[in-house]
Amino acid sequence: MSVCAKFTGDISADADYQSLKSYSGTIDGNNHMITLNGYSLIENASGNITIKNLMLAGTVIGENNAAAFIGYTDADTTDTISIENCANLASVKAANDNSAGFVGLINGGDTLNLSNSYNYGSVVSMGGNADPLANTDTNATADYKNCYYLKDGTKANGTVKNPNTATEKTLAGFESGEVAYNLNKGALDIIFGQQLGTDDADKYPVLTSGKNVVYCIASNYTNDGALALIDNDKARIFSSTDAVAMIAQYNGDILVSAVPVNISSNTMFDISITKADTADKYKVFVWNSASELKPVSEPTDYTVTK
């Protein structure tokens, strides 16, 4: 049986909490956090599962297949696991083997699709297999899109594991806002925020509904500015203040079209782009005003798909 759940608040697991033993269905964290108390959220994924908009914290300790989100996929069924817009902050330890931030073991024939997510928690295995995201068995498939993990935070039998399946970032990269900025840019949406530059600044990205968005201006990350995104025939712009944008089209270095757009603060603007016949590149500029033209965002380039 498939079960769907949507959270309405944060949850802290008590001493009596145990994993969902066998689960299929959809879990929408609704931008909330669950603090685990020794066990994975789901022990066994059986069938198709979608988990989205959820952060996990706390601790997970097990013998084998220890992970924050899912211990392992069912070896007797064909399972597809989709996890998007999620984060693991929990520390994970396998006393024997197979520890991971998201899935302890994806069995053969099963598939994991992980997108717009990151692992910040420590991952330790006393055996030979540990991964910041997921361990895969023979003939299992893991597809990672726009995913990040804390560098040197994963160890298998004392050996540091920094796999090239996702992007490693240092503590400084997380604390600076770089990861939050890149997560949103790669997702073409505002998913994560992070309060920067204050005494109670966030050390890592947090799920958001447009609060504490991270912008990049002159290679500096800040909570004031604009984020310009382009995907094929659409530009998306989100700004902390009223601004003016320019949607420019180029053929090589020659400007062939330029359209100004007024942007209101704290609203995602979706702008359709009608491609000029000779254009091979789009570029979006965002300034504070048409008169001053002070940049509030890094220019965004996009090569047009023919």
For residue 1, pLDDT over 70 is answered with no
Rama region for 260: left / alpha / beta (φ>0; ψ in -120 to 50; rest):
beta
Give the model's pLDDT for residue 124. 98
State which H helix or E strand residue 172 sits in.
helix 171-175
Give the model's pLDDT for residue 231. 84
- The string of pLDDT tens digits covering residues 107-128 is 999 999 999 999 999 999 999 9
Give the model's pLDDT for residue 115. 98
- The string of pLDDT tens digits covering residues 171-228 is 999 999 999 999 999 999 999 999 999 889 999 999 998 899 999 998 899 999 999 9
Structure tokens at 272: 């359709």
Give the model's pLDDT for residue 36. 96
Contacts 24+ apart (CB under 8 A), 33-36: 33/57, 34/7, 34/10, 34/58, 35/10, 35/11, 36/60, 36/68, 36/90
pLDDT band at 75; cut points 50, 70, 90: confident
Percent of the chain with pLDDT over 90: 83
Q: Are 273 and 302 in contact (CB under 8 A)?
A: no
- The string of pLDDT tens digits covering residues 230-285 is 888 899 999 999 999 999 999 999 999 999 999 999 999 999 999 999 999 999 99
- pTM of the predicted protein model: 0.94
Distance CA 174, CA 202 (A): 9
What is the DSSP secondary structure assignment for residue 20, as one 8-state letter? B
Torsion angle in degrees (nearest 10) through CA of 103, 106, 110, 113: 40
Q: Give the chain's domains with CATH numbers.
A: 3-169 (2.160.20.110), 224-306 (2.60.40.10)
| Owner of token pair 């969902």 | 20
Q: For the chain, how are helix, strand and coil distributed in percent, rounded to 5? A: 5, 55, 40
Give the lowest-confidence range in 58-62, 154-158, 160-164, 277-281: 277-281
Distance CA 221, CA 225 (A): 9
pLDDT band at 305; cut points 50, 70, 90: low
